[in-house]
Amino acid sequence: MNRTGRLTSKAFEAEALAELSALLGVATRVTKNPADAQDLVQDTLLKAMRAREQFEAGTNLRAWLIRILMNTFINRYRRGGLERSVLEGPDADPLADGWISAQTMESMRDPEAQALRPMLASEIGRALDELPEDYRLAVVLSDVEELSYKEIADIMGCPIGTVMSRLHRGRRLLKGRLYEHARAMGIVGPEAEVGAKSEPVVELDRYRARKAVSS
Amino acid sequence: MTTPTCRHFVPLLEPFRDGELSPADVVDVEAHLVECERCAERLRLGEAMRSSLKQFVRADAQVTESFEKRIALALAAEREREERLESPAEAHGRMLSWRGIMPIAAAAAVVLVWAASANNRTADGGSVAKSDIASSPASVEKLIDELVANHQRATGPQFTEQTLLPQLEPEVGVPVRAPNFKQYGAHWEGVSVVPVSNQRAASLRYRIAGHRLTVYVYDASRVPVRSTLQQRLVRDEPVYVGSRHGVSIAATERNNGVGYAIATDLNKEESAELVASIY
């Protein structure tokens, strides 16, 4: 870095190349086409190199590069901007996954690998790509690229609350899809029904709360 | 089982997992997780999903050598364009390009010397692994370059969980185990799969007293790393050492055909000691 805090072109080149894998991962998910993804990454890095004096030293280079990547994608590859999801809105019930029992959730995991069971892991890519675009991007930026909510909000041009909602909804859709797949593959069995039956604890609580308000 | 307090805690579980909660909320969530198996399981399933997602996205968009070269060339061309704009005097521009050429010429000379010595060893030593790659000095040079270049790149790991290493075996072609360097104070960082000499090797990352350490695990019959290196004995164990661009390379092979090579900026003796400790 020189006296003005600007990264030299060589230093920038080295740091940007270290982010190649992250950029290609995001580009592949948004373009859904490997050749377009590679072009998008190249355009992004050339733009970033020309604009590198705008990068604030000490902030997250990956987040800055992804913001350029998304702007490039929207301007050049998708004139209409990001698909707005039709599923926006406040979350009605935070316990909406209550129908999946702890036992069922456990049988969807591979405890040794600390990941999903292999048969579910093979499904997760398809499930991810079928998510509404805003949800998919939020999930990839948080779960894969490990960006903060603030960084994701800057990239997506929305408030942090919207990022949280998109993340929650995206993950819940993924979980629901994986659960359906697990049922179809016979990975989870009738214990799911037991889980569903255990839910009246919440229902009763909700009923009492409502009754207390109305009386 | 879901308790009424879950209604309060469930919306906090994702921000908790994402590291976005205040310290006070973190304490509350942790206390709830101890007593609520269902929320603990919600969290574990979320973590499992994240881990599988990460693996999928990384594996589906692997940076190939040719793509990396394409990007490096594009950036280098952009840098040259900037330099030309910044120094309009044509004569000065020519000087710069000659300055650029000198290190390349020097590097080419080193490559030639290295290749020649590798050839000599191939002719003299009977223990050199036979392979198409070993018979071509250019390929052998490329192989060492690949090991050094990958070591110097600070790319993030594909994953960090050692328990997932067996999943790499079909890709790498040999059992992948993480050597235990705890006695040397090494800190595990993660693993990725990298292309080496048209094969694939597991690239295990550690940090040891501030130095980055890469351990490659590969099929020794297909990736002839040791054929370019000098043999040494460490505790009566043959290891193969060399260095390039300030990076030490030390390799060894085990009876089951698994090759291990270490790339680090520690010195050759330390690298040899590390690689000899692998069993």
- What is the ipTM score, two decimals? 0.77
Q: What percent of chain B has pLDDT over 90?
A: 24
Whether residue A109 and residue B48 make contact (CB cut-off 8 A), yes or no, is yes
Residues 156-215 of chain A with CB under 8 A from chain B are: 164, 167-168, 171, 174-175, 178, 198-199, 201-202, 205
For the cut 50, the answer to whether the pLDDT of residue B117 exceeds it is: no
Nearest CA in chain B to A42: B71
Provide the pairing of β-strand B247-253 with B199-208.
unpaired
Give the H/E segment covering residue A139.
helix A133-139
A125 interfaces chain B, CB cutoff of 8 Å = yes
Cβ-count burial of A6 within 10 angstroms (0-12 exposed, 13-18 middle, 19+ buried)? middle
Measure the CA–CA gap between B137 and B115, rounded to whole angstroms. Answer: 5
Q: Which has more confidence, B243 or A165?
A: A165
Helix, strand, or coil (residue B223): coil
**Structure confidence by residue, pLDDT tens digits, A36-46:** 899 999 989 99
Lowest mean pLDDT among A161-170, B8-17, B129-138: B129-138
**Structure confidence by residue, pLDDT tens digits, B20-38:** 999 889 999 999 999 999 9
Q: What is the pTM of this model?
A: 0.54
Q: Which has more confidence, A10 or A175?
A: A175
Measure the CA–CA gap between A6 and B205, rounded to whole angstroms. Answer: 30
Nearest CA in chain B to A8: B79
Q: Determine contact, residues A37/A24, Cβ cutoff 8 Å.
A: yes
pLDDT at A106: 84
Closest CB to A167 among B6, B14, B70: B14
Whether residue B155 and residue A20 make contact (CB cut-off 8 A), yes or no, is yes
Whether residue B72 and residue A17 make contact (CB cut-off 8 A), yes or no, is yes
Nearest CA in chain B to A142: B18
Highest-confidence range of A30-34, A63-67, A83-87, by mean pLDDT?
A63-67
B156 vs A contacts (CB less than 8 Å): 21-22
A142 vs B contacts (CB less than 8 Å): 18
Mean pLDDT of B67-96: 72
A129 interfaces chain B, CB cutoff of 8 Å = no
Q: How many CB atoms lie within 10 A of CB A87?
A: 14
Lowest mean pLDDT among A78-92, A98-112, A166-180, B47-61: A78-92
What six digits make up the tokens of A78? 């998708």
